[in-house]
C-alpha cells in the first residue's frame, strides 16, 4: 500500500498476520481489470458493458455481480474472479449498512478460492458518494478503506473453501480498497482492491 493514501478502518479489523498465518494477496484494479458488472440498474454505479441484462426480478434486485481479472503481487494477471454482493432490504442509506459479499478467485493451474465476508464502509458515503450525488461533480482523491467487518469475531472475512492447492486451506481474509476517483456518471477507480488472505495451514 502506498504511503500517500489515507487508511480508514473504522472496525479496527486486523490487517496484519498473526503468528502462524501466511499471507498471499490478490489484486483487482478498477476499471483496468473490470470485465462486466450487473445490478438492478438503479444503483449509483451503472451496469457495464451497456446492454448487459439488469437484475429486475424481485429475488435478485438487491444483488450485484462483478467479473474481473486478478493480478498477483508483481502485477501479472494470474486469474479471474467473480464478486457477488447482496445489499440490505433498506438499501445503503444508513451509515452502518452492511452486506454479504462472496468472492470466487480462479487461478488456472493452481485452483480456486472461495471467500465470504460482511462489508461496511460508513466513511465512503459522506466522504465520496454523497457529495458527488449532490453536486454532480467528480470526486478525486486518495483514500483506502478496509471494508471487511465479519463474519469472524475479529472483523475479518473467512476462507470458505477451495480446490486444487487451496482445497485444504483454512483461514481468513480482508478486503482493502484504495479509492482514487468516483465520477458523476458512476465510474469508480479502485487502484487496487486487495484481497489479503491469511492462510493458517498452507
pLDDT of residue 1: 46
Over residues 137-156, the pLDDT tens digits come to: 999 999 999 999 999 999 99
Would you say residue 112 lies in a domain? yes
pLDDT of residue 4: 81
Over residues 69-98, the pLDDT tens digits come to: 999 999 999 999 999 999 998 776 677 889
pLDDT of residue 202: 61
Would you say residue 192 lies in a domain? yes
Residue range 17-27: mean pLDDT, rounded: 97
Would you say residue 1 lies in a domain? no
Would you say residue 40 lies in a domain? yes
Range of the domain at 51: 6-199
Average pLDDT, the chain: 95
40: left (phi over 0), alpha (psi -120 to 50) or beta: alpha
**Predicted TM-score (pTM) above 0.85:** yes
- What is d(CA 181, CA 186) in angstroms, rounded to the nearest whole number? 10
| CATH number for the domain harbouring residue 51 | 2.40.480
For residue 188, is the peptide bond before it cis, meaning its omega torsion is within 30 degrees of 0?
no
- DSSP bridge partners of 195: 26, 175
Residue range 189-201: mean pLDDT, rounded: 96
Domains of the chain: total: 1
- What is d(CA 160, CA 101) in angstroms, rounded to the nearest whole number? 12
Amino acid at each position: 500500500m502506498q504511503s500517500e493514501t489515507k487508511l480508514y478502518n473504522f472496525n479496527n479489523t486486523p490487517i496484519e498476520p498473526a503468528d502462524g498465518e501466511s499471507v498471499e494477496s490478490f489484486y483487482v484494479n478498477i476499471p483496468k481489470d473490470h470485465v462486466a458488472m450487473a445490478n438492478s440498474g438503479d444503483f449509483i454505479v451503472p451496469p457495464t458493458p451497456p446492454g448487459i441484462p439488469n437484475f429486475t426480478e424481485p429475488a435478485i434486485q438487491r444483488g450485484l455481480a462483478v467479473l474481473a481479472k486478478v493480478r498477483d503481487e508483481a502485477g501479472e494477471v494470474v486469474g479471474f474472479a467473480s464478486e457477488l454482493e447482496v445489499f440490505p432490504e433498506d438499501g445503503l442509506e444508513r451509515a452502518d449498512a452492511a452486506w454479504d459479499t462472496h468472492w470466487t478467485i480462479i487461478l488456472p493451474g493452481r485452483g480456486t478460492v472461495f471467500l465470504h465476508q460482511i462489508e461496511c464502509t460508513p466513511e465512503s458515503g459522506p466522504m465520496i458518494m454523497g457529495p458527488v450525488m449532490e453536486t454532480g461533480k467528480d470526486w478525486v482523491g486518495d483514500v483506502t478503506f478496509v471494508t471487511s467487518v465479519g463474519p469472524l469475531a475479529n472483523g475479518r472475512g473467512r476462507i470458505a473453501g477451495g480446490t486444487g492447492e487451496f482445497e485444504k486451506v483454512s483461514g481468513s481474509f480482508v478486503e482493502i480498497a484504495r479509492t482514487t476517483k468516483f465520477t458523476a456518471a458512476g465510474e469508480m477507480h479502485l487502484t487496487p482492491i486487495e484481497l489479503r488472505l491469511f492462510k493458517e495451514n498452507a
